[in-house]
Chain A
Amino acid sequence: MTALLSATGLSISGRLEQTSLTVDGGQLVGLIGPNGSGKTSLLHALAGIPPAIGEVFIDGRVPRSLPPAVRQQLFTFLPASRDVAWPLTAKHFIELALPPDSDWTALSERLELGGLLDRRMDRLSTGERTRVMIARALAPDPNLLLLDEPIANLDPYWQIVMFEELRNRARSSRRSVVMAIHDLRAALEWSDRLLLMNNGRICADASPAELRISGRIEEIFRVSLDWPAAIVSADPRSSP
């Protein structure tokens, strides 16, 4: 069986070093690491955003060679920034790059977007904008979701709703989610698999339980996983 996502030699000068990655269908993959560790750069490289180089195959196809409409059925990308360039309504924002006959009413109901759709994006709160932006990424029903900080700015209720939405999608053998996430507790609780990044490389790839036991998270992040979190003394630069 071919992997849903297969990437080799991903590199961005000074930010991401020769990284390779394989993701099977049905996985919710959490990408964790300290600030500047390369999480966003890896997502950019997977999404083919310049200046990244490397080979990416999604569902056996090279996204770079496909037209935008087909490419969106293969994968969509949620950027970390919630800023909007133009004051579109939420409805127009979601529909902007969708084929005209797309039906996303069920998605809109699940994410309770009804009251937001006719409002301008620049007049929504950051959390509301995040919900609309995630809906835009989900609407083309892609095989792979690449999400940069999907729960940032969401209140606890919406964090759970979004994770359940993502987990439900990742139950299918032809659907997966790769998400960069700063909230370690949420990453450990919701991910099927965690990639720990440091200094532009993946330095650990394991299930949440294995990674928790290994002590690598405390070593790289320099904090304990207990509540309340406390700073520990490891130096992240010394880790490979």
Chain B
Amino acid sequence: MTRAFLLLALACAFLLSLAVPWISLPSDLAWSVLVELRLPRAMLAVTYGAALGACGAAVQTIFANPLASPDLTGTTSGAALGAVIAAYLLEFASPFALSLGSVAGAMAALGLLLALAGPRAETSTLLLAGLAISALAGALTTLALALAPSPFAFYDAYEWLMGSLVDRSLSQSLFALVPTLACIAVLMTQVRALDSLALGEETAQAIGYDIRRLRLVIIAVTAIAVGACVAVCGAIGFIGLVAPIFARRLTGGRPGSAILPAALIGGVLLLAADLVVRLAPLGRTLPIGVATAVLGAPFFLWLVTHMRWKLSR
């Protein structure tokens, strides 16, 4: 029932994204606008939102922390750095090369995370290591931008880093969609194992789940899905934090079962954010990464305050 409702909401938001703002055009031009501009944009919003939602739910579960998200494990920053290096230092510009660079960056961040924190690290250690990697990747990305071959390249990279769904082709959206669907399929096979983590790590292990392997699978899958999306659209934050929190309210708090709802909610949220960006009367289109940050940061602050209040009770 919940899934059906979420699917319906996603379908409505998708159709709205194709239709709004409504403009009257000759039929061949309208078709071009629909297929070449709006369809890739809506597909990317659903894909990226679903990737962030599903991966956010999985990452929050393995870290047993509702504040964890691909941003906090360094995955997004590593992916952005990998793509920037591929695009502006090695002068690769094809979507495939960018995707490879991005996934490689996310994987490198993962490798560094494991090297720093170790495979059996405490959650707090993993999160601290993730924050350190984010800071390092951010600094190296700035350095890579400073070394960009031209001001135009610098501006392109800067705008891409802020996150955008505009002017992407159908083939680019497929570069994000295929790995994302594969990764969500893998995550769906881990739902029971992730659910069992709500009973505690020792109990989950006694039930028969290999938590060390599960952790590695989740981080690798997250790196691939988020890396592929970052390569096409740049860095978009907060969806991976917010969507799983709403999703768990629909699953009785079960963290693994929240993966699919979180993917659907993530898709709806990013489509909605894109509509806000399109319709905002600002004279120019805001990067969607900026919009999700402006809308998501207050929610993040509320969450931190709420958790602190609960802990101090």
Q: Is A48 an interface residue (CB 8 A)?
A: yes
- Surface stretch bound by B, among A82-90, A156-164, A194-202, A216-224: A82-90
Contact among B203, B212, B255 for A77, CB-based, below 8 A: B203
Nearest Cβ in chain A — how far from B275, in angstroms?
A: 32
Q: Which residues of B contact A (CB under 8 A)?
A: 61, 64, 192, 195-203, 205-209, 212, 248, 252-255
Nearest Cβ in chain A — how far from B96, in angstroms?
A: 39
Query: Is the Cβ of B200 less than 8 Å from the Cβ of A48?
Result: no
Residues from chain A with Cβ under 8 Å of B196 in the complex: 68, 96-97
Contact with B along A88-100 (1 / 0, CB 8 A): 1100110011000
**CB-CB contacts below 8 Å: A43-82 with B:** 44, 47-50, 63-64, 66-68, 71-72, 75-79, 81
* Further 17 A-B residue pairs, CB within 8 A, beyond A50-B205, A85-B201: A48-B208, A64-B208, A71-B207, A71-B208, A72-B207, A77-B203, A85-B199, A85-B200, A86-B61, A86-B198, A87-B253, A89-B252, A96-B198, A96-B199, A97-B199, A97-B207, A136-B199
How far apart sit A146 and B199, CA to CA, in the bound complex (Å)?
Answer: 15
How far apart sit A97 and B197, CA to CA, in the bound complex (Å)?
Answer: 10
Interface pairs (27), CB distance under 8 Å: A47-B205, A47-B206, A48-B205, A48-B206, A48-B208, A66-B208, A67-B208, A68-B196, A68-B209, A76-B206, A77-B203, A77-B206, A78-B203, A79-B200, A85-B198, A86-B197, A86-B248, A86-B255, A87-B253, A89-B253, A92-B253, A92-B254, A96-B195, A96-B199, A97-B195, A97-B196, A146-B206
Residues from chain A with Cβ under 8 Å of B192 in the complex: 68, 97
Nearest 5 CB-CB pairs, A to B? A77-B206, A47-B206, A68-B208, A86-B198, A85-B64
Residue picked from B196, B200, B207, B209, most chain A C-beta under 10 Å? B207
Residues from chain A with Cβ under 8 Å of B212 in the complex: 50
How far apart sit A146 and B206, CA to CA, in the bound complex (Å)?
Answer: 10
Residues from chain B with Cβ under 8 Å of A120 in the complex: 253
Closest to A76 in B: B206
Query: Is the Cβ of A93 less than 8 Å from the Cβ of B209?
Result: no
Closest to B197 in A: A85
How far apart sit A87 and B255, CA to CA, in the bound complex (Å)?
Answer: 10
Nearest Cβ in chain B — how far from A141, in angstroms?
A: 15
Query: Is the Cβ of B253 less than 8 Å from the Cβ of A68?
Result: no
Query: Is the Cβ of B205 less than 8 Å from the Cβ of A88?
Result: no
Query: Is the Cβ of A49 less than 8 Å from the Cβ of B253?
Result: no
Residues from chain B with Cβ under 8 Å of A68 in the complex: 192, 196, 207-209
Residues from chain B with Cβ under 8 Å of A76 in the complex: 206
Residue picked from A66, A77, A83, most chain B C-beta under 10 Å? A77
Contact among B200, B205, B254, B255 for A81, CB-based, below 8 A: B200
Residues from chain A with Cβ under 8 Å of B207 in the complex: 68, 71-72, 97
How far apart sit A48 and B206, CA to CA, in the bound complex (Å)?
Answer: 6
Query: Is the Cβ of B252 less than 8 Å from the Cβ of A88?
Result: yes
Closest to B256 in A: A96
Nearest Cβ in chain B — how far from A39, in angstroms?
A: 14
Residues from chain A with Cβ under 8 Å of B248 in the complex: 86
Q: With A50-B205, A96-B196 as given contacts, are A86 and B64 in contact (CB-CB < 8 Å)?
A: yes
Closest to B207 in A: A68
Query: Is the Cβ of B208 less than 8 Å from the Cβ of A44?
Result: no
How far apart sit A81 and B200, CA to CA, in the bound complex (Å)?
Answer: 9
Nearest Cβ in chain A — how far from B113, in angstroms?
A: 20
How far apart sit A74 and B203, CA to CA, in the bound complex (Å)?
Answer: 14
Residues from chain B with Cβ under 8 Å of A89 in the complex: 252-253
Query: Is the Cβ of A88 less than 8 Å from the Cβ of B254?
Result: yes
Closest to A77 in B: B206
Query: Is the Cβ of A88 less than 8 Å from the Cβ of B209?
Result: no
Nearest Cβ in chain B — how far from A183, in angstroms?
A: 22
How far apart sit A88 and B64, CA to CA, in the bound complex (Å)?
Answer: 13
Nearest Cβ in chain A — how far from B116, in angstroms?
A: 21
How far apart sit A92 and B199, CA to CA, in the bound complex (Å)?
Answer: 10
How far apart sit A96 and B256, CA to CA, in the bound complex (Å)?
Answer: 11
Q: With A85-B198, A85-B200 as given contacts, are A96 and B254 in contact (CB-CB < 8 Å)?
A: yes
Nearest Cβ in chain A — how far from B112, in angstroms?
A: 24
Residues from chain A with Cβ under 8 Å of B197 in the complex: 85-86
**CB-CB contacts below 8 Å: A101-132 with B:** 120
How far apart sit A44 and B206, CA to CA, in the bound complex (Å)?
Answer: 8
Contact among A63, A79, A84, A85 for B208, CB-based, below 8 A: A63
